[in-house]
């Protein structure tokens, strides 16, 4: 008999599964009627397969046919490991990524073949390169193929068919953020070619989290707000401040909220909880365990719990104390400010609800170290 984790959703059920071991994050979403979406990627415990594919294989999902959309929110390493494998296996899925790319990422597109090396690749950009190569092999054209969709506020990425006509909408990055990214691109190119005249006018400095693709999944009942790593934003034209002020996003209240940026304070905006999330909506997040100050912090947890009685983390506690080893501890203490053992197995939070259900109908299941905060 299959375990509860191996039981697939009913055709009329919505599902949001979030995976995270402490470094890495992945969302797997059932839109109803056997249509699936994958957002971001991390690896399984053995580090040899994308966790989304492993899970869908357990559910006996035909990933080549039933996965309809694959989204990369941004090209941080903890969000993209295994993404090239996902794109290769999900042959009929549309692929989307942020319309706001940093200069390094864009240059991979314009120079994405082995003979040209304009930049030193990070692992995230290398994964992007592999995704583009897969898309190119899939294309019948002699011209290079890129993403099916460039995601930004106001773009609808997918609309399902049948009775469960769920829709996937982008609510970020903002159009101003895309403009900022073009300024970043200009600076990047200017570093590679000789200057011709005056300096390029400066745009605000931006990082990968500013470019994140936040998503809204609109259904017949509950709605999903997926915050990626989007931060507050420096003004009303950027980040969550721009989301609040947008006239392009669907004006709905979400019952499921994927908390942005591992619960960090720099991604928290009260107006998001007040205007976009239902009272006591279910909040889920994946932690970030690397560094001296893992996220979410105790202060972050208190803040999130002040907004909902139903907050869940894919791994809790985030880290454990490393084993004591005679002769090793002294040396390690001399070279490291802090030490903790990271989990390898991704924790798993699964929320399911009937397509026309309400917040009260949401069923929450916790696997592999996931816990309620």
pLDDT tens digit string along 226-269?
A: 999 999 999 999 999 999 999 999 999 999 999 999 999 999 99
- Return the pLDDT at 192: 44
Rounded to the nearest integer, the mean pLDDT of the chain is 86
Of 4-8, 60-64, 141-145, 308-312, least confident by mean pLDDT is: 141-145
How far, in Å, CA of 52 to CA of 80, rounded? Answer: 12
Residue 155 backbone phi and psi in degrees, to 5: -95, 130
Bridge-based pairing of strands 67-72 and 94-98 is: parallel
Mean per-residue pLDDT for 141-164? 84
Residue 288 per-residue DSSP state: B
Which has more pLDDT, 330 or 183? 183
153-179 pLDDT per residue, tens: 999 999 986 666 899 999 999 999 999
CA distances to 108, 128, 267 from 352, rounded to whole Å, are 38, 31, 26
Cα angle for residues 327, 333, 337 (degrees, 5° grid) = 160
Give the sign of the dihedral formed by CA 28, CA 254, CA 170, CA 185: negative
Tokens of residue 293, six digits: 């100050």
pLDDT at 119: 45
Query: pLDDT band at residue 204, thresholds of 50, 70 and 90?
Result: low
CB 365 within 8 A of CB 27: no
- Which residue blocks in 191-305 are alpha helix, DSSP H? 239-245, 270-275, 298-305
pLDDT tens digit sequence for 78-101 = 899 999 999 999 999 999 999 988
Question: Do residues 348 and 17 make contact, with C-beta atoms less than 8 angstroms apart?
Answer: yes
Confidence class of residue 117 from pLDDT cuts 50, 70 and 90? very low
Fold type of domain 4-315+344-372: Metallo-beta-lactamase; Chain A (3.60.15)
Range from 55-64, 137-146, 208-217 carrying the lowest mean pLDDT:
137-146
Give pLDDT, residue 61.
98
* Predicted pLDDT of residue 183: 77
Distance CA(207)–CA(354), nearest Å, equals 38
pLDDT digits over 9-52, tens only?
999 999 999 999 998 999 999 999 999 999 999 999 999 999 99
* Residue 67 confidence class, pLDDT cut points 50, 70, 90: very high
Query: What does the DSSP 8-state code read for residue 341?
Result: B
> Which pair of structure tokens corresponds to residue 303?
């803040």
Q: How far is residue 43's CA from residue 304's CA, in Å, rounded to a whole number?
A: 27
Chain-centre distance of CA 152, in angstroms? 14
**What is the model's pLDDT at position 1?**
46
At residue 51, the 3 state secondary structure works out as helix
State pTM to two decimals.
Answer: 0.88
Query: What radius of gyration, in Å, describes the C-alpha atoms of the chain?
Result: 21
**For the chain, what are the domain ranges?**
4-315+344-372
């Amino acid at each position: 008999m299959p375990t509860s984790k191996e039981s697939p959703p009913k055709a009329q059920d919505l599902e949001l599964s979030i995976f995270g071991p402490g470094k890495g994050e992945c969302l797997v979403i059932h839109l109803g009627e056997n249509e699936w979406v994958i957002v971001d990627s991390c690896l399984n415990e053995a580090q040899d397969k994308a966790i989304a594919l492993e899970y869908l294989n357990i559910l006996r999902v035909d990933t080549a046919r039933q996965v309809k959309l694959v989204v990369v929110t941004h090209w941080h390493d903890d969000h993209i490991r295994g993404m090239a494998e996902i794109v290769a296996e999900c042959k009929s899925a549309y692929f989307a990524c942020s319309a706001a790319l940093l200069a390094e990422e864009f240059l991979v597109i314009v120079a994405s073949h082995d003979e040209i090396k304009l930049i030193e690749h990070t692992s995230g950009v290398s994964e992007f390169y592999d995704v583009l190569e897969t898309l190119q092999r899939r294309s019948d054209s002699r011209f290079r193929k890129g993403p099916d969709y460039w995601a930004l506020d106001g773009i609808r990425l997918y609309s399902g068919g049948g009775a469960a006509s769920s829709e996937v909408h982008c609510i970020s990055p903002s159009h101003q953020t895309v403009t900022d990214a073009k300024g970043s691109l200009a600076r990047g190119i200017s570093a590679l070619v000789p200057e011709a005249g005056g300096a390029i006018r400066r745009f605000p400095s931006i990082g990968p989290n500013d470019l994140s693709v936040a998503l809204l999944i609109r259904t017949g009942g509950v709605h999903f707000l997926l915050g990626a790593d989007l931060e507050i934003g420096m003004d009303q034209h950027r980040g969550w401040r721009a989301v609040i002020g947008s006239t392009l996003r669907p004006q709905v209240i979400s019952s499921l909220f994927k908390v942005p940026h591992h619960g960090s304070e720099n991604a928290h905006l009260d107006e998001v909880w007040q205007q976009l999330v239902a009272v006591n909506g279910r909040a889920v997040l994946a932690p970030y365990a690397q560094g001296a100050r893992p996220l979410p912090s105790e202060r972050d947890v208190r803040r999130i719990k002040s907004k909902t009685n139903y907050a869940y983390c894919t791994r809790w506690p985030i880290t454990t104390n490393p084993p004591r080893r005679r002769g090793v501890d002294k040396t390690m203490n001399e070279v490291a400010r802090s030490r903790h053992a990271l989990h390898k197995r991704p924790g798993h939070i699964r929320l399911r609800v009937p397509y026309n259900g309400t917040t009260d109908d949401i069923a929450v299941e916790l696997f592999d170290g996931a816990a309620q905060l």
